[in-house]
Amino acid sequence: MPDADALPEPSVARRLLAWYDRHARRLPWRAPPGETPEPYHVWLSEVMLQQTSTAAVAPYFQDFIARWPTVHDLAAAPHAEVMAAWAGLGYYARARNLHACAQVVSRDYGGAFPESAKALQALPGIGPYTAAAVAAIAFGEPTAPLDGNIERVVARLHDAHDPLPGAKSTFRGLMGDLVPADRPGDFAQAMMDLGATVCQPTSPKCMLCPLADMCAARAAGTAETLPRKAKKKPRPTRYAVAFWVARADGCVLLRRRPARGLLGGMLEVPSTDWVAGTWDPASAAPFAPVAAAWTELPGVVRHGFTHLILEVTVWAAAVPADTEAADAVWTPVDRLGEAGLPTAMRKIVEHAIGHSAD
């Protein structure tokens, strides 16, 4: 890695801020360059943006702000409603922590978010990145947030070849050296925007880049290979049988998952445990939520989570209108779209509906 001192750091900030003033992306949670945004909006958007694209987040952000215009409103909302509004955005622990965080800010801070990264990080669901981003963007603290876009820009500016995630703290230090004392929030957002729109992963548009003549990777011809990433372990597959119970009154059986763990607190199509080996009928049958004549539907449903792949076989049964089951949330088939099902469960529903019509 070249000597970091070789880069004229203050110019990076000046150059990039001038570019940002002309090219900042218009995003629903943003204030125009030079203006301070609403901390509640910054925090909400940063939590939603973890592992998720701006395009996916925008409609959710607008829906949340319309339903719950202040952090007090969000804190007072029923938990199931918050989880349902989050459905489809994934990583559901974020939604649980989001609600818990809103309640702490509403109750203990009178609705005003603490202003330093250190204090923000003590709140539920706020890690080092989110704390640094909110402190910089909402409160002007000169922090060094490091998301995927910023990592890429920093690695390329310095032609840094150390692989991620091990190189994170090195990159954070390099980013910290670039942060200006004034407009640190705009600087962080400018780095994010440069990474998202110019310094893109596979084909960086160096011709359009305001930092082109300062960029070590461009000079070395290595930009497209950076940042390097350590090889990921392959994700294990987990297997389950899901039970699609269609009642004669047009309702299907859903259940709420336990509060903790994967998809915690979300509605589900009831299933066996998710295990390392495939299920045989005799082992799966005791997990069925009602006694019924089951038919195994053809094909399987696959869904990728961060750390595992879930492969689900679906058993279907038609039952009388007076059927009951423990912890059942009977839901009309034509209301399933509004039920707040997470994506994995929506795939199971689509598979079941598609094949039940065969």
Residues numbered 240-279 forming contacts with ligand SF4, rule: CB under 6 A: none
Site size toward ligand SF4, by CB under 6 A = 15
CB of 146 to ligand SF4, least distance (A): 15
Q: Are 96 and 90 in contact (CB under 8 A)?
A: no
> Which one, 25 or 205, has the nearer CB to ligand SF4?
205
Catalytic residue among 46, 151, 224, 324: 46
- The piece of 79-87, 199-207, 255-263, 288-296 that touches ligand SF4 (CB under 6 A) is 199-207
> Which one, 123 or 211, has the nearer CB to ligand SF4?
211
3-class secondary-structure state, position 122: coil
Segment (H or E) for 304: strand 301-304
CB of 212 to ligand SF4, least distance (A): 4
The site string for ligand SF4 over 141-180 (x = CB under 6 A, - otherwise) reads: ------------x--xx-----------------------
CA of residue 186 relative to chain centroid, distance:
22
Q: Which of 226, 214, 212 is nearest to 161 (CA)?
A: 226
CB of 206 to ligand SF4, least distance (A): 3
> Which one, 153 or 297, has the nearer CB to ligand SF4?
153
Q: Which of 305, 302, 306, 288 is nearest to 239 (CA)?
A: 302
- The piece of 7-15, 76-84, 200-208, 277-285 that touches ligand SF4 (CB under 6 A) is 200-208
CB of 208 to ligand SF4, least distance (A): 8
What are the two backbone dihedrals, phi and then psi, of residue 22, each rounded to the nearest 5 degrees?
A: -100, -30
Rounded to whole angstroms, the Cα distance separating 227 from 258 reads 38
Torsion of CA 51, 57, 61, 62, to 10 degrees: 180
Among 199, 262, 319, 349, interactor with ligand SF4 by CB under 6 A: 199
Number of neighbours of residue 351 by Cβ within 10 angstroms:
22
Q: Which of 6, 7, 23 is nearest to 198 (CA)?
A: 23
DSSP β-ladder status, 251-256 and 267-268: antiparallel
46 in active site? yes
Q: What's 275's DSSP letter? A: B
> Which one, 71 or 190, has the nearer CB to ligand SF4?
190
> Which one, 53 or 203, has the nearer CB to ligand SF4?
203
> Which one, 135 or 153, has the nearer CB to ligand SF4?
153
| Contacts made by residues 10-13, CB under 8 angstroms, sequence distance 24+ | 10/180, 11/214, 12/157, 12/178, 12/211, 12/214, 13/178, 13/179, 13/180, 13/187
Number of neighbours of residue 205 by Cβ within 10 angstroms:
12
CB of 25 to ligand SF4, least distance (A): 16
CB of 224 to ligand SF4, least distance (A): 8
Residues numbered 201-230 forming contacts with ligand SF4, rule: CB under 6 A: 204-206, 209, 211-212, 215, 217-218, 223
- Burial status of residue 27 (CB atoms within 10 A of its CB: 0-12, 13-18, 19 or more): middle
CB of 231 to ligand SF4, least distance (A): 23
> Which one, 175 or 245, has the nearer CB to ligand SF4?
175
Which residues are catalytic, by number?
46
Binding site for ligand SF4 (CB under 6 A): 153, 156-157, 198-199, 204-206, 209, 211-212, 215, 217-218, 223
